[in-house]
Amino acid sequence: MSAPLIITAAPNGARLNKQDHPNLPVTVAETAAEAARCRAAGAAVLHAHVRDQDGAHVLDPGLYRELIQAVREICGDMLVQITSEAVGRYSPAEQAAAVFASHPEAASVALREMWPGEGSHEQRQARDFYARAKAEGIHIQHILYAPPDLVRFADACARRIVPEGRRDVLFVLGRYAASLEAEPGELDGFTSGDVSTLTSWTVCAFGRRGYDCLVPAIPLGGHVRVGLENNLHLRDGSLAPDSAALVKEMAEAASAAGRSLASPQAARELLGIGD
């Protein structure tokens, strides 16, 4: 029997704003309030981005700590996963510094951003980051943007750039550009590769077909990340009122497939957080 499904809510991301969707949360207070709605709809994890006063993506440890505290006060034990996404603004060293200064339970980190090349300095920097994260008990979800990244991830593990232990990844289907919206069947490009060494995998999908792209992960034992960061539309093509509505659709799909939902504590246990 598959483990309970972990639904991660991604309510804002780094690029969209209220012109894209009026209910997209931007401030800490708005994001925490949306996290509460997503938790009520079935999400166990919040994938967290924070914005500066102008609404721009920022890796600000102070804002991350503020958001983590706000979510704790409103949502109880909901797991908060911060992002280290560069968005063309941050170097690997700056990303690493932001993660460690934020003191989160969990962080999502793009492999191709933290280990961008084969130089000795780049390898050492990535190795040091992943080793320190493990030592400090920060759970890392490795973002893989395309099937070749899965091969590179296996190489990073073999070279001990990524240390022994957890192998939790996020498969990204599609991208922001309209021509790269995710299509059903795209998950096969990842799952047809060697996933036997992975501890767990999650999938997110950009674009209007998000629901159809994510649902196949449920019977395969994967987990899902859903929210306005990736997709603004419900299954029927109408505009989603908020991220909680997208979480609710995934929760209903899990119920129809006979798979239970993970609570925040169950998600921590499945991800080895606190071991």
Q: Can you give the pLDDT at residue 80?
A: 98
Q: Can you give the pLDDT at residue 176?
A: 60
Q: Can you give the pLDDT at residue 175?
A: 79
Could you give all domains of the chain from N- to C-terminal order, each with its CATH number?
7-271 (3.20.20.70)
Q: Can you give the pLDDT at residue 275?
A: 74
Q: Can you give the pLDDT at residue 178?
A: 55
Largest CA distance in the chain: 50
What is d(CA 212, CA 148) in angstroms, rounded to the nearest whole number?
23
Contact call for residues 104 and 64 (beta carbons, < 8 A): yes
Q: Can you give the pLDDT at residue 20?
A: 95
Contact call for residues 23 and 235 (beta carbons, < 8 A): no
The closest alpha carbon to 217, from 203, 232, 230, belongs to 203
- 200-205 and 79-83: which strand pairing? unpaired
Q: Can you give the pLDDT at residue 235?
A: 96
Q: Can you give the pLDDT at residue 1?
A: 57
Element (H, E) at 106: strand 106-110
**Cα 179–Cα 245–Cα 241 angle in degrees, nearest 5:** 75
Q: Can you give the pLDDT at residue 215?
A: 98
Distances (CA, A) of 220 to 58, 188, 262, 273: 35, 11, 16, 23
Name residues of the chain where pLDDT drops below 50.
none
Place of tokens 């800490």: 28
- What pTM does this model have? 0.96
What is d(CA 164, CA 270) in angstroms, rounded to the nearest whole number?
17
Q: Can you give the pLDDT at residue 272?
A: 96
The closest alpha carbon to 94, from 84, 82, 105, 107, belongs to 84
Give pLDDT tens digits for 35-52.
999 999 999 999 999 999
